[in-house]
Structure 1
Amino acid sequence: MVRTPLTPEERERGERLGRLLRAARGPRSMLEIATAAGLSAETLRKIETGRAPTPAFFTVAALAGVLELSMDELVAHCAPEPAAA
């Protein structure tokens, strides 16, 4: 299966998601959060660094639950930025 290349906007959205998750994790270890969400630490690392810019919905939902973030917060933070006029 060949995956369609991501657009620059999709990559940026993934980077914003990663930054938000990293900030919400705070001083807690990557392993602690990943384990609580049912993920591997490597998966969380890829999401936080933007190397996995389009994680599955249920992965994001699990992380949001562990990090006590609402899905509304995630959407608002990761929504595409308005185009310059």
Structure 2
Amino acid sequence: MVRTPLTPEERERGERLGRLLRAARGERSMVEVAAAAGLSAETLRKIETGRAPTPAFFTVAALAGVLDLSLDDLLVRTALLPV
């Protein structure tokens, strides 16, 4: 299956999500948060750095739960904006 390239707006949204998650993680280690969410630290690293700009919903939901973030708030704060 060929994946459609992401638009600049979609890439920016992924980077925004990564920044929000990184800020919410605060001083907690990447390994601790990833393990609590059932992810690898590498997956979390990719999301936080924008290298994985379109993580699966359940991945985002698991991270939001561990980081005590509202999915509604994440949706609003990562809405597609023109770049």
Q: Which runs of at least 4 in structure 1 moved beyond 6 Å after TM superposition?
A: none
Q: Choose 1 or 2 for highest CA Rg.
A: 1
Q: Which amino acid aligns with 2:39?
A: L
Q: CA deviation at 1:80?
A: 1.8
Counterpart Cα distance in 1 of 2:30 and 2:77: 21
Find the counterpart in structure 1 of residue 11 from structure 2.
Answer: 11
Q: Which amino acid aligns with 1:9?
A: E
Q: Which amino acid aligns with 1:11?
A: R
Q: CA deviation at 1:2?
A: 1.1
Structure 1 unmatched runs, 5+:
none
Find the counterpart in structure 1 of residue 55 from structure 2.
Answer: 55
Q: CA deviation at 1:73?
A: 1.1
Counterpart Cα distance in 2 of 1:67 and 1:76: 17
Deviations 1:21-78 (A, max 9, x none): 0000000000000000000000000000000000000000000000000101101110
% identity of equivalent residues: 83
Q: TM-score, normalised by structure 2?
A: 0.96
- RMSD (Å), alpha carbons: 1.2
**Which is bigger in relative contact order (C-alpha 8 A, separation at least 6)?**
2
